[in-house]
Amino acid sequence: MKIIFSRKGFDSGAGGVPSPIIAGRPISLPIPTKHRSETTYADLGLSDIVEAATNGRITGGNLCHPDPMFQDGRCAFGQTGAAQAHLANNAVGVGDVFLFFGLFSQQGSRDRHHRLFGYLRVDEVVVLGANPTAANQPPGFARQHPHTIGDWKPNNTLYLGTGQVTDTASEALRLTWPGCAVSRWRVPEWLREVGLTYHGRTERWDGTDTLNVAARGQEFIADIGERTDARQWCDGILSTLGRSSGEG
C-alpha cells in the first residue's frame, strides 16, 4: 500500500493566498484557470469567500479547476504530465490512498500552515489520454471533471474511489509545526524509516518526527507495504477527515 501526500488548492503560487479556515472549517479553494473548465467559483458557492480571500482579485465569475472533486462519499482526482509520470513510475493504483493537503490560514490570523483536508482511497484508475470527451465523465458527479475537458498530455489519468473533504480543522490534520515555517512538518516516526519520494536527502529530516518538506512538487509517495504502524496512522487520519466538526 502507498500513501500519497498530494498538494492541492491555493498557495503563494496558485491563487496567491492561503485557503481560509472559516468558523472552524477549512475551505480548500480550487486554483484559478482560464481553460479546460466549465466551473466558476460561483458555481461552487465560493464567490464571497474567494473574493474576500483575494481582495477581489479573483471573483465568483472566474473559472476554477475543481480537482479533486468530491460528491456523495466519492472522489475523482485527475493528474497529468510529470506528476502523473511520478505516480505511474511508483505504481500508484487500486488500494492506495491520496491524502490531500494545502496551505491554510485562520481568518484574521497570520498563522499560515499546511494541513490535510481530504482523501481518496483508489478503487479505479482510468487513463483518459490526450483528447478526452464528455463521455469520459465519471458517473456520480454533477459537474464536468476538468480532466475530461480539452487537450491534455497523453498520460492524462483519473483516479476514482471513496473519498471525502473534511469540515473540521482538527489539530491532528495539521502538518506544519506550530510557530515554525510552513515547510517544517511534524510527521509520524515511521515515515523517515519508510521514506518519502523527493525527500531522500538526510538534511531534510530532523530527528524522527520532523521533515523539511520540498517547496515544489505535487505528489510525495510513501510505500508502506504491510507496515502495521503506518496503516494504523493512515486509518486514524481517514477517520478524522471523515469526522464532522460537530462530533466529539
Q: State pLDDT tens for residues 5-21.
A: 999 999 988 999 999 99
At 225 the pLDDT is: 97
Task: Give the bridge partners for 114, in sequence order.
Answer: 103
> What gap in Å lies between CA 12 and CA 103, rounded to an integer?
8
- Backbone phi, then psi, for 202, in 5-degree steps? -55, -35
**Residue 59 confidence (pLDDT) above 80:** yes
Of 62, 57, 19, which Cα lies nearest the Cα of 44?
A: 62
Tens digit of pLDDT for each residue in 198-234? 999 999 999 999 999 998 899 999 999 999 999 999 9
* Partner residues linked to 97 by β-bridges: 3, 121
CA angle centred on 65, ends 198 and 176, rounded to 5°? 40
pLDDT at 13: 87
Mean pLDDT of the chain: 95
Q: Above 70 in pLDDT, residue 248?
A: no
Beta strands in the chain (DSSP E): 2-7, 19-22, 25-26, 69-71, 74-79, 97-106, 112-127, 157-165, 184-186, 205-206, 210-212, 219-223
Nearest to 126, CA basis, from 87, 65, 78:
78
The x, y and z cell numbers of residue 171, run together, are: 489539530
Residue 246's pLDDT is what? 47
Q: Which amino acid is at 70?
A: F
Residue 245, pLDDT above cutoff 70: no
pLDDT of residue 12: 86
Rg (CA), the chain: 17
User: Is the model's pLDDT at 104 over the cut of 50?
Assistant: yes
Q: What is the mean pLDDT of residues 50-62?
A: 97
Q: What does the chain come to in residues?
A: 248
Q: What is the pLDDT of residue 98?
A: 98
pLDDT at 244: 57
pLDDT over 90 for what percent of the chain? Answer: 93
106 C-beta neighbours (distance < 10 Å), count: 16
pLDDT at position 247, please?
47
Q: Which of 23-27, 61-65, 164-168, 243-247 has the lowest mean pLDDT?
A: 243-247
- State how far the alpha carbon of 212 is from the alpha carbons of 184, 203, 230, 246, in Å: 5, 8, 20, 33
Which grid coordinates are listed for 39?
Answer: 466551473
